[in-house]
């Protein structure tokens, strides 16, 4: 599809600087822009590219001050990144959606199916499962028995939703993710060296407007439910253990792991490779820096870093000192030698 600067500015409520009739039919990074493409500039680190980009249209923040003239048509908006995301959503929605049920799929006769289901090759839907309207199940999706899935849900190839789990409306789950695998529960038997598996009889409940990346494991509860709140966004390669609860609108970034029965508040940000121990409480709005190890509960809006983690402001000061330790070590050694010499001469 092709759009003019005038059409894009009208949709975004932006202001044009340049040729309002120039058109685009593609998107590109600002440093890789070609004629006919749309780019955006939100990060000041990339401002240097705007003066040489060949992109036909560039979205920029309305308050950005340019150092010299540009050759491209600009559209000034309140937030260039958000505006660009809105355009991508518009483009995605305009694409034709797959429809129909593959002859290679297997849907149990007791399953309840909503309107406009798409089921690709080798999709399997179990007994007494319920699917809402406009659900899209790509190839090799497995849905177990007694599962409930809401409206407008997309499950990408190879997603597994195991028995008794519940997924709300408008959710997207990417390839390879498993919802409802057994929690890691093993009891050491008295007088024995081996551990006995504890049956995991709970489920997973996922709220509305949740997106989960690829190759994520969300374990079912031992009893009760593992819960993912509304609006939660999860990156790839994440482990969520049994009985964990994640509050609304929280973010969990790649390779993070949350141990059993920990409660994560609302609007929490958990950065990459964070490890959180079990049975803790993380307050609303807390921010946990990359690779942090959390072994104690956090208060609301607390910001931590390090392993074990502590206040991010103290951590930054400590990190600055850490880099100077070799120099400080030499100074201390020299001071000790000076003291020893003084004692000898005295």
Asked whether 182 and 200 are in contact (CB, 8 A), the reply is yes
d(CA 274, CA 254): 9
- Please give the Cα distance from 166 to 109 (Å, whole number): 20
Mean per-residue pLDDT for 335-345? 87
Mean pLDDT of the region 204-222? 98
pTM, two decimal places: 0.86
The rounded Cα 151 to chain-centroid distance in angstroms is: 21
Q: How do residues 137-190 score in pLDDT, each as one tens digit?
A: 999 999 999 999 999 999 999 999 999 999 999 999 999 999 999 999 988 877
Q: Are 202 and 218 in contact (CB under 8 A)?
A: no
pLDDT in tens, 248-284: 999 999 999 999 999 999 999 999 999 999 999 999 9
What does the pLDDT look like over 186-202, one tens digit per residue? 888 776 778 889 999 99
pLDDT, tens only, 79-109: 999 999 999 888 888 788 888 999 999 999 9
Domain ranges of the chain: 3-94, 100-314
Gap between the Cα atoms of 309 and 319, Å rounded? 13
Q: What 8-state DSSP symbol labels residue 32?
A: G
CB within 8 A of 299, min separation 6: which ones? Answer: 283, 286
| Ramachandran angles phi, psi of 7, nearest 5° | -65, -45
* Residue 296: per-residue pLDDT: 96
Q: What mean pLDDT do residues 14-23 have?
A: 96
343 band by pLDDT with thresholds 50, 70 and 90:
confident
Calculate mean pLDDT across residues 4-32: 95
Beta strands 203-206 and 166-167: pairing type?
A: parallel
Within 13 Å of residue 217, how many CA atoms lie on the same side as its CB? 14
Q: Give the whole-angstrom CA distance, residue 329 versus residue 334.
A: 9
pLDDT computed for residue 191 by the predictor? 67
> Could you read off the pLDDT of 280-331 as tens digits, one per residue?
999 999 999 999 999 999 999 999 999 899 898 888 888 888 888 899 889 9
Fold topology of 3-94: 3.40.1390
Q: List, in sequence order, every residue forming a beta bridge with 305; answer none if it has no partner.
A: 310
**To which H or E segment does residue 74 belong?**
strand 73-77
Percentages (nearest 5) of helix, strand, coil residues in the chain: 20, 30, 50
Which pLDDT score, from 0 to 100, does residue 346 have? 66
Exposure class string for 252-278: b at 16+ Cβ within 10 A, else e? bbbbbbbbbbbbbbbbbebbbbbbbbe
100-314: CATH class: mainly beta
Q: Which of 281, 234, 284 is nearest to 257 (CA)?
A: 234
Give 66's DSSP letter.
P
> What whole-number distance in Å separates Cα of residue 329 and Cα of residue 216?
45
Residues with a known catalytic role: 242
Q: How far apart are CA 82 and CA 124, in angstroms?
A: 37
């Amino acid at each position: 599809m092709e759009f003019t600067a005038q059409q894009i500015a009208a949709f975004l409520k932006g202001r044009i600087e340049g040729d309002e009739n120039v058109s685009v039919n593609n998107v590109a990074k600002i440093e890789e822009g070609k004629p006919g493409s749309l780019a955006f500039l939100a990060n000041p680190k990339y401002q240097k590219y705007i003066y040489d980009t060949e992109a036909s249209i560039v979205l920029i923040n309305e308050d950005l001050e340019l150092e010299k003239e540009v050759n491209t048509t600009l559209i000034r908006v309140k937030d260039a990144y958000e505006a660009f995301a809105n355009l991508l959503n518009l483009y995605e929605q305009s694409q034709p959606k797959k429809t129909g049920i593959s002859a290679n799929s297997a849907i149990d006769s007791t399953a309840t199916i909503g309107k406009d289901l798409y089921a690709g090759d080798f999709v399997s839907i179990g007994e007494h499962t319920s699917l809402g309207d406009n659900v899209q199940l790509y190839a090799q999706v497995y849905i177990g028995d007694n599962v409930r899935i809401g409206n407008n849900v997309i499950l990408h190839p190879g997603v597994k939703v195991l028995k008794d789990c519940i997924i709300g409306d408008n959710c997207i789950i990417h390839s390879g993710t498993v919802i409802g695998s057994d929690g890691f529960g093993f009891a050491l038997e008295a007088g024995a060296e081996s551990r006995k598996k504890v049956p995991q009889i709970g489920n997973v409940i996922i709220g509305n407007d949740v997106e989960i990346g690829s190759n994520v494991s969300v374990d079912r509860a031992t009893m009760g439910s593992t819960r993912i709140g509304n609006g939660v966004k999860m990156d790839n390669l994440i482990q969520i253990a049994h009985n964990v609860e994640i509050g609304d609108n929280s973010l969990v970034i790649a390779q993070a792991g949350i141990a059993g029965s920990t409660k994560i508040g609302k609007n929490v940000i958990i950065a990459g490779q964070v490890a959180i121990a079990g049975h803790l409480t993380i307050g609303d709005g807390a921010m946990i820096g990359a690779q942090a190890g959390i072994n104690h509960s956090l208060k609301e809006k607390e910001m931590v870093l390090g392993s074990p983690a502590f206040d991010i402001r103290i951590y930054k000061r400590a990190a600055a000192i850490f880099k100077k330790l070799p120099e400080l070590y030499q100074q201390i050694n020299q001071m000790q030698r000076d003291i020893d010499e003084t004692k000898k001469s005295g």
